[in-house]
Structure 1
């Protein structure tokens, strides 16, 4: 009965030690799984940061291109304004030259008419056909000058309209570029905010990971210490068991010896005295 009680107690302690080892192993597996999940989350955050960085670089590139296009459009607008002013000056100069030529032709015609009226009769060498030819030539010269002037004015008006159309188009494109630039700046600000949030989340998760890693390390060290302690306890239990076995054997031998002595003494006492 005493041996059975000792065995039951030993087996109960051994079961408790095994349960503690199983619990420590399960906690270790859980900690490793949490560590792997946290590492995967960190990798996902890094991947998102890389994508945001690429998107931010692309936005910067688009912003730089938009600024270059805006600068080119601004220069084109300035050139068109200067060209429009130049064309207006050329039109004014041509109109002035035309007025001067017209005034000169009017004066020549008036002088020629006065010269014709001053003669009482036409000389014999001066025929009416020559006057008609001269008038016809003057009409042709005047018509040619007027046609040339009209062509130049039409060309200048066409150039001016084209310049105004280009200017209006450049202004419209400039406005669209400004809107696009504002959208890009807004997107860039949004990307900056998202980057800061991701960096904060990454830093927080990194701190949490470090904390979890430290806790895991402490738990592993505690489990290792507990494991060593359990080994020592198991070794002590085995040693105590061995000592108890030796003690039991020794007691058994001693009991057997006493029993033999008692039986011998009993036999001796039962024999009749000689």
Structure 2
């Protein structure tokens, strides 16, 4: 059955691949992002229906306008919301500025919350719908240099767990998709404040080399998009989809170990 799906952060990476995959399978996709020209290019490339929606998840007026845009063609609202918009801020916590940290949480957490709150009323009225929140492997385990980014993803995990409980009786599913390192620009970001405190030089080098190694093994955005298609088309989707599954054992082990043993294991693997 064809569904209407809004995908945030659709101008690149996982969001773009997801929009193309869903449109090709006959779903109506509202591709949302700040850069309208990229969305128009996406719509021209798609084999199916892609409707560009200019959206800044940090701007209340922009979110309200996105809801109105959807209502023009789908008065009853969307069937599925994919909260994919976000970016990574990497570096030791002390080296990051308050503004950088605030912007990270505004986009990855508050933006997700506000977009979800804007589209939930229509889902509640219909007593049906699915909210898909893009988290990360780093929302299940923390390593050096990922505290702030991982903190936003841990928050997304907690919010999703709460929403799942709060919305279950209304017929609304809440699903987490947890990608590992993916071949996009997302996981290569660095803070401009990095390397300003000499005491962290060794830690920053270790973290940078770890990210570089992981990116060489990164999965494609299309692999995550294939999982998104499964979620959208499932009659009863699961609650969590880890992509790739190879991280499941590692996450289970690190979270089962005592903290200090887990810390030593993480540092060894990063070195």
TM-based fold match above 0.5 = no
TM-score normalised over the length of structure 2: 0.16
Q: Which has the higher strand share?
A: 2
Which structure has the bigger radius of gyration? 1
The TM-score, its normalising length taken from structure 1, stands at 0.16
